[in-house]
Homo-oligomer: A and B are copies of this chain.
């Protein structure tokens, strides 16, 4: 399955010039391999040559190759297993609204986990969920247990239509909601439908999730990153304004955004840009995919409503229970413009028809009984306290590092001194702290200014692990830490 090194076409000789000696060689080699993995030329699972043979090929010391490999293993780009050499890791990509957040295999298996993308799983309301489950199953008609509507159970779609209107300003009707198996499933369905409509590209943000871009590209949609500045994603580039890439973006008819809380940068989209992107969609028959992965978690003010409320005919709203409850539920929802419902339902019915009905009925009951609101309120308080503790600890112990972005969500971005991101990530690995550098989230074609930063998932640990994780994080980023 995996491509072999020999056929990957990656030529390290090119990358090594003009850095023929010492640490320069090690750095050049590390960069070259990292770029090859990031750019997809080296695919996950590809076996690398032994350090001995690569060193011989390149005419450099074997230790230099071994050191470069060790660096990349520590960073999570490669994996080393005894007896089977070194190979390209499954990408250690976290997901704000879908997918696993496992840390890559490493010689220093992590003890503390601050990888973003997961809520505190120990906070899942097991007892309340079971109670809702009992009520839901007792009330369910027999035919709920059969093959049912590919959109999902009407009880859940009805509960969500009410909840999303109230909590996120989403304007919809149960008939236009499709329950899916988490965000990725919904994005895959939309990607297929858009491709079938003739789209060949889709605009995305400069930073985001590699897994999402790859999914869209497998669906036949090239992803074209929009620029990024202090006001957030430069949506005006879609209309050819602001010096954006008129060439590639001129043909784009759809855009994937995280307007409430850009992932991972952590800003909300400026009101002018919200208006601009909706205006673009209206004028040019465009479609906005709104990934509202953590819109319920805003700490400093009332959350900004969903973009979908501005134009329900031009925005697909994608929501998930993965952050508010647990990823293991595998429940997400698409709120669709009327014109897309038929195609999405048909695409979904072809694949797996529907998600399990018991969890759907239970979530409907959970929402209707008010338990969902209570859980979100309690979680908001919990995560807000963690964010406050993080900011305070950094101010005290690592004043050169500060959290940017709005007070929201389950992750923060820590700006680092220029040029230090890689060494901080490596220092974290040695401290057995799993945390990601911002660079892991950068679109390969982005031209946005690079900054050195960490993406810290403060929502991930259980309460008993939070203090220790924060301690290790502060030690890592403190002036003496790396």
Contacts and interface: CB of A to CB of B under 8 A. Distances in A.
Given A146-B101, A147-B327, A327-B147, A129 B137 contact: yes
Contacts of A184: 351-353
Contact of A356 (B101, B124, B328): B328
19 contacts: A99-B147, A99-B349, A100-B146, A101-B147, A130-B133, A144-B328, A145-B329, A146-B327, A147-B327, A182-B352, A184-B352, A185-B352, A215-B350, A328-B354, A330-B353, A330-B355, A356-B356, A356-B359, A359-B359
Contacts of A352: 180-182, 184-185, 188, 330, 352
Contacts of A350: 188, 215, 218
B188 A351 contact: yes
A301 interface: no
Interface string A367-380: 00000000000000
B121 A126 contact: no
A276 B351 CA distance: 32
A221 B101 CA distance: 34
A344 to B, nearest CB: 11
A95 B150 CA distance: 15
Contact of A142 (B101, B138, B462): B462
- Oligomeric state, in copies: 2
A346 B182 contact: no
A287 to B, nearest CB: 16
A121 B145 contact: yes
A272 interface: no
A172 B376 CA distance: 42
A375 to B, nearest CB: 13
A121 B133 contact: no
A220 to B, nearest CB: 14
A396 interface: no
A1 B342 contact: yes
Interface of A: 1, 95, 98-102, 117-118, 121-122, 124, 126, 129-130, 133-134, 137-138, 142-148, 150, 180-182, 184-185, 188, 215, 218, 326-331, 342-343, 346, 349-359, 462
Contact of A343 (B1, B118, B124, B357): B1
A355 B138 CA distance: 23
Nearest to A147: B100
Tell which of A99, A129, A351 has the most Cβ of chain B within 10 Å: A351
Contact of A351 (B150, B343, B351): B351
A347 to B, nearest CB: 10
Nearest to A129: B137
A418 to B, nearest CB: 33
A352 B188 CA distance: 8
A327 B145 contact: yes
Nearest to A180: B352
Contact of A328 (B1, B95, B148, B218): B148
Given A146-B326, A181-B181, A358-B359, 16 more contacts: A1-B342, A99-B349, A100-B147, A101-B147, A133-B133, A144-B328, A147-B327, A182-B352, A184-B351, A185-B352, A218-B350, A328-B358, A329-B358, A330-B354, A330-B357, A358-B358
Nearest to A181: B352
Contacts of A133: 130, 133
Contacts of A328: 144-148, 354, 356-358
A43 to B, nearest CB: 11
Nearest to A122: B142
Contact of A146 (B121, B134, B145, B354): B121
A-B CB proximity, top 9 nearest: A100-B147, A328-B357, A185-B352, A145-B326, A181-B352, A145-B328, A121-B142, A121-B145, A330-B356
B121 A147 contact: no
Given A137-B129, A359-B356, A95 B147 contact: yes
B134 A130 contact: yes
A33 to B, nearest CB: 22
Contacts of A327: 145-147
Nearest to A462: B142
Given A184-B351, A356-B356, A358-B359, A146 B129 contact: no
